[in-house]
């Protein structure tokens, strides 16, 4: 009742305000605009208050429940839906599969952040101040200048710092970083602004590019459960030097034929500046890093042709898994 009275009072006030509009003609011409503006403001405010009060009224109109109970009065105890209709998201299942293999290979797993800053995203990765990737053509930014990361490499600096003690103990840093990343690009069947990547970071006293190629080949051989030929292509990333694109011969399980190669990820020897910034002496240690998309692995596995399914939330799709 109280709520209804309140709404009544507000509506009365609105009526009075509306009546004020007729007074506008009595004012001097130069005062009319300001008067109208004030009136509109007041009216907006009341309309908002009415909407709020009305919402409160609707929300009040519910029966309280005994929240401690396990069923309603005279109702049966609820049941779970059948296990056969349950499913894991294919991207998450794939991430689990990927991280499990890396764990078997001795890699720790650290999940990537979804909101980061300029320092981790660019500065710590040896992007020069004027690098075009900073200008926001494909990187999102918040009002505060924070960045939803465009790559999982945003975690490299943190990983290097937090695992530096491994080096002091004579061990290697071996970490993979799966996570969600964001690029400001239009969505179509093969492009998403939101997708998943998995980064790898390895640092030790005497690791080589041969080790990098060996680890990556090992991963994909475990992942596809077959021996694989690998191939590389020179690439360019500010945070690795040398930089490579890594390819595998398309596995038989994906219908691959001899000579078909799939680009799987970008990789390279960690740039000495990146190590230096994390407090690791590049004269004493070197390392390598890599990063590749997870979405594509899932699309290849299931023969999917549209990346937009993943974040669609559509049950017809999800219940297929």
Site for other proteins, residues 203 to 262, rule: CB under 8 A: 204, 206-211, 213-218, 230-236, 241-245
By CB under 8 A, tell whether 296 contacts other proteins: no
Stretch that binds other proteins, among 2-10, 21-29, 34-42, 115-123 (CB under 8 A): 115-123
By CB under 8 A, tell whether 111 contacts other proteins: yes
By CB under 8 A, tell whether 144 contacts other proteins: yes
Which of 184, 190, 226, 253: binder of other proteins (CB under 8 A)?
184
**Alpha carbon distances (Å) from 53 to 6, 7, 45, 202, 241:** 7, 6, 12, 59, 63
Q: How far is the CB of 24 from other proteins (least distance, A)?
A: 33
Q: How far apart are CA 200 and CA 202, in angstroms?
A: 7
Torsion of CA 79, 84, 86, 88, to 10 degrees: 160
Q: How far apart are CA 38 and CA 49, in angstroms?
A: 17
By CB under 8 A, tell whether 303 contacts other proteins: no
By CB under 8 A, tell whether 148 contacts other proteins: yes
Q: How far is the CB of 111 from other proteins (least distance, A)?
A: 7
Which of 2, 30, 59, 284: binder of other proteins (CB under 8 A)?
59
CA atoms within 13 A on the CB side of 238: 19
Q: How far is the CB of 167 from other proteins (least distance, A)?
A: 11
How many residues interact with other proteins (rule CB under 8 A)? Answer: 116
By CB under 8 A, tell whether 21 contacts other proteins: no
CB 142 within 8 A of CB 174: no
């Amino acid at each position: 009742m109280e709520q209804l009275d309140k709404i009544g009072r507000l509506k009365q006030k609105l009526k009075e305000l509306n009546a004020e509009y007729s007074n506008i003609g009595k004012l001097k011409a130069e005062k009319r605009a300001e008067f109208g503006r004030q009136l509109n403001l007041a009216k907006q405010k009341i309309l908002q208050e009415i909407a709020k009060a009305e919402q409160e009224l609707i929300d009040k109109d519910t029966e309280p429940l005994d929240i401690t109970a396990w069923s309603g009065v005279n109702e049966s105890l609820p049941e779970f839906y059948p296990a056969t209709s349950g499913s894991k998201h294919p991207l998450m299942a794939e991430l689990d599969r990927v991280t499990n293999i890396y764990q078997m290979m001795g890699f720790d797993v650290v999940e990537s952040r979804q909101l980061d800053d300029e320092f981790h995203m660019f500065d710590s990765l040896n992007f020069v101040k004027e690098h075009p990737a900073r200008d926001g053509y494909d990187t999102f930014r918040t009002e505060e200048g924070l960045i939803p990361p465009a790559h999982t490499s945003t975690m490299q600096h943190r990983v290097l710092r937090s695992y530096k003690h491994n080096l002091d103990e004579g061990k290697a840093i071996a970490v993979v970083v799966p996570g969600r990343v964001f690029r400001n690009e239009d969505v179509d069947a093969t492009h998403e602004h939101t997708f998943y990547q998995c980064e790898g970071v390895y640092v030790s006293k005497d690791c080589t590019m041969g080790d990098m190629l060996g680890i990556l080949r090992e991963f994909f051989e475990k992942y596809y459960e077959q021996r694989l030929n690998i191939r590389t292509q020179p690439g360019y990333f500010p945070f690795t030097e040398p930089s490579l694109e890594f390819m595998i011969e398309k596995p038989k399980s994906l219908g691959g034929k001899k000579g078909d190669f799939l680009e799987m990820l970008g990789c390279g020897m960690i740039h000495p500046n990146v190590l230096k910034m994390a407090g690791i002496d590049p004269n004493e240690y070197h390392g390598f890093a890599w990063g590749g998309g997870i979405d594509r692995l899932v699309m290849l596995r299931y023969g999917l042709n549209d990346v937009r399914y993943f974040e669609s939330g559509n049950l017809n799709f999800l219940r297929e898994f």
